[in-house]
A = this chain, B = another copy of it.
């Protein structure tokens, strides 16, 4: 189970680091800015989660693995050949960003629940879901605020809803299924909802729909 969690964490770290690096490149930052936004996006949600759960110092400060993987991911995306391709093909850029951000959202949502279960004692379903959503969306919110963008969570089709539904499913199913299965299911649910929503432009009523 430990190994499974570490593996998931690494997948989420790579995905979120890539999303941060892509947005930094779009903002024409230099290599260092790209690495920093990649690392902050990858570890930000987890640090927030650990502070909330009272895990100090946060896990990201104890083990350099995630930071190193996030740096490597950001540097990789900065390789001229790859960067050139991504920067000059808006559609490719958007698709890669969407997929990376969605994987990160899904992975960190269920990892939030896993950490709440592992490191704390009194975990209600509400706490698990709240911590899951916060961990899932946290890294992306920090990324968007630092990059000067309106956070995805406030403007993207069903962004937080996808995380909420996945967290809900994971928190419920863990009573029926082995934990790793509930986590995988919750993660895939987030990913599928988010991709479908982006593809079909699922939308909720806007404040100006009355006009």
Q: Is the CB of B206 within 8 A of A61?
A: no
- Which residues does chain B contribute within 8 Å of A196, judged by CB atoms? none
Complex: how many Å from CA A159 to CA B29?
13
Residue of B nearest to A64 (CB): B126
Does A210 reach chain B (CB closer than 8 Å)? yes
* Stretch of A10-18, A142-150, A167-175, A185-193 that contacts chain B: A142-150
Give A7 Cβ to nearest chain B Cβ, in Å: 21
Contacts of A210 in B (CB 8 A): 80, 83-84, 87
**Which B residues lie within 8 Å of A206 (CB)?**
28-31
- A26-69 to B contact mask, C-beta < 8 Å, 1/0: 11111111101100000000010001111011101111100100
A–B pairs, 21, beta carbons within 8 Å: A24-B154, A27-B207, A28-B206, A29-B154, A29-B207, A30-B205, A30-B206, A32-B158, A32-B159, A33-B154, A36-B154, A52-B56, A52-B61, A53-B57, A54-B56, A57-B120, A60-B130, A62-B124, A62-B127, A80-B210, A83-B210
7 closest Cβ contacts across the A-B interface? A54-B56, A25-B207, A30-B204, A33-B154, A31-B204, A84-B210, A64-B126
Interface positions of A (Cβ within 8 A of B) = 24-34, 36-37, 47, 51-54, 56-58, 60-64, 67, 78, 80, 83-84, 87, 120, 122, 124, 126-127, 130-131, 141, 145-148, 150-151, 153-155, 158-161, 203-208, 210-211
Give me 13 other A-B pairs in contact (C-beta within 8 A), A57-B127, A61-B131 excluded.
A24-B207, A27-B150, A29-B207, A31-B204, A32-B161, A33-B153, A36-B160, A52-B61, A62-B122, A67-B126, A80-B210, A87-B211, A148-B150
